[in-house]
Amino acid sequence: MNMFFTFLFSYISILIVYKLILAKEFFTRRDFIYGVFFCAFMALFYYNNFFNSTTEFLSGISIILILIITHREYGLLNASISGFATLFVNLLSNNIIEFSLAIMNVPVQVYTDNSLNYFVVSAIIFSLASIFALITYKIKTYIKKISADLENKNFMYCSAGLFGFIAVSFYYLAYHNRFAFTQNLQLFSIVQLISIVIIFAFLLVMLRDSLMKQKLRAQEKIIKEQSIYIAEIERIQKNLRVFKHDYKNVTLGALKYIDDGDIDNLKCYYQDVILKFENTYEQNDTRLDKLKNFKQKEIQSIIWSKLVQAIGKKINFRLDIERDINYDMLIIDICRIIGIWLDNAIEASSPNDTISLLAYKDNNYNYFVIENNCYGNVDLMGISNFSFSTKGKNRGVGLKNVSEIINDNDNIENHTEIEGNKFRQILVVENRG
């Protein structure tokens, strides 16, 4: 029974750490039910001598604990990764200890059940669990940052599975062969270390592979966009030729009035024909040219791809971009903000609406403005909340991400305004110098 309370204590302490670091809501009844079951099981195992030694036992506990808790909070994938990672690190630390012990020629059976009291057991579990909690959290946020919408899931599944498979097999080998191999412990440890290196190498290869695939996909996308770009340029060229031809005729018409000295008619002709003529040809043909004013090339491509979408939906797109615009923030962040805003703008627009996009700078600031038509009421207070949506379930996630990025950067401010039937997002980015 003693052991049961030790487990309960350690479970609760780990729970506290997890909740403090990661979770939003505090304890629920489910947590406790899980915990009591878990502790009962562990005590049962313990009294039936299910494990060979304390170390094994400790690893078992921490892994199962972490599996349970991460599963509760983050789903199966993260649970398996963190669980296997735990196992792996346990193995590694065991290995290192044994390796150094073997070098120093100390007999292996240093840690027996008697040498650790209950308190130490809980303390070790506690610290292990908190370290892994931190590690998983960090890794998760990092991965989220570098690969916002890239396909990383397969890779994660694979690496989790691999970790698991190799770690389990090692574990099995290490602890069931130990007694036979005591004399060859040095060799054994070296083999283990080499295998771990191999695992890492394999993982690296896989990572490289998946990165290559991503690159390939990105390149394909660029090629596709480029071809649309070229088509657009050809269209403009053609327009220009037609314009040149027509302009000659129009000016010839004016010449006739000038020859006759008929100023009144010339005035009429100018207002009726020439002005109208210019208006017909005044199209947004210069907009492609302006995109290159962004110093961050990634922004060009994201705006370009959205522009193609907008053209497809017959939405007018107006661009004005000053020279040398450079937003002093992570490129991935600015691209996400612009992408999400443009997506929303395109979604809110119906054909023949206009989306205006403006980028300019003064002194120490760079600005980005998007304006689109909006009809009906927009609930500004709900916009940054997760539940926001006039468009269906879970559509508000984009703006939530934008808020997070804005909140994480000191040098950014954001104004969202509605003026008449115009909806406007303004981003102000200060240069950090």
Helices (H) and strands (E) in the chain, counts: 13, 5
Within 8 A by CB and 6+ apart from 72, the residues are: 30, 31, 34
Find the shortest distance in angstroms from Cβ 367 to another protein: 7
Residue type for position 299 = I
Q: Considering only the stretches 1-9, 195-203, 344-352, 404-412, report the one whose residues sit in contact with another protein under the rule CB under 8 A.
A: 404-412
| Nearest to another protein of 53, 356 (CB atom) | 356
Residue 419 three-state SS = strand
From candidates 89, 358, 389, 400, binder to another protein by CB under 8 A:
358
Q: Considering only the stretches 72-80, 125-133, 148-156, 410-418, report the one whose residues sit in contact with another protein under the rule CB under 8 A.
A: 410-418
Find the shortest distance in angstroms from Cβ 430 to another protein: 6
Burial 257-281, CB ≥16 within 10 A → b, else e: beeeeeeeebeebeeeebeebeeee
From candidates 143, 196, 236, 406, binder to another protein by CB under 8 A:
406
d(CA 29, CA 41): 19
Crossing angle, helix 153-177 and helix 185-260, to 10 degrees?
A: 170
Within 8 A by CB and 6+ apart from 268, the residues are: none
Instruction: Indicate whether 415 belongs to the interface with another protein (CB under 8 A).
Output: yes
Find the shortest distance in angstroms from Cβ 357 to another protein: 8
From candidates 362, 392, 393, 433, binder to another protein by CB under 8 A:
362
Tokens 């947590």 belong to 31
Instruction: Indicate whether 264 belongs to the interface with another protein (CB under 8 A).
Output: no
Q: Considering only the stretches 75-83, 232-240, 247-255, 414-422, report the one whose residues sit in contact with another protein under the rule CB under 8 A.
A: 414-422
Instruction: Indicate whether 413 belongs to the interface with another protein (CB under 8 A).
Output: yes
From candidates 384, 389, 395, 400, binder to another protein by CB under 8 A:
384
d(CA 432, CA 411): 7
Within 8 A by CB and 6+ apart from 192, the residues are: 91, 95, 170, 174
Residue 370 three-state SS = strand
Instruction: Indicate whether 243 belongs to the interface with another protein (CB under 8 A).
Output: no
Instruction: Indicate whether 275 belongs to the interface with another protein (CB under 8 A).
Output: yes
Contact residues toward another protein (CB under 8 A) are: 271, 275, 278, 282, 286, 318, 320, 322, 356, 358, 360, 362, 364-365, 367, 369, 371, 379-384, 403, 406-408, 410, 413-419, 426, 428, 430
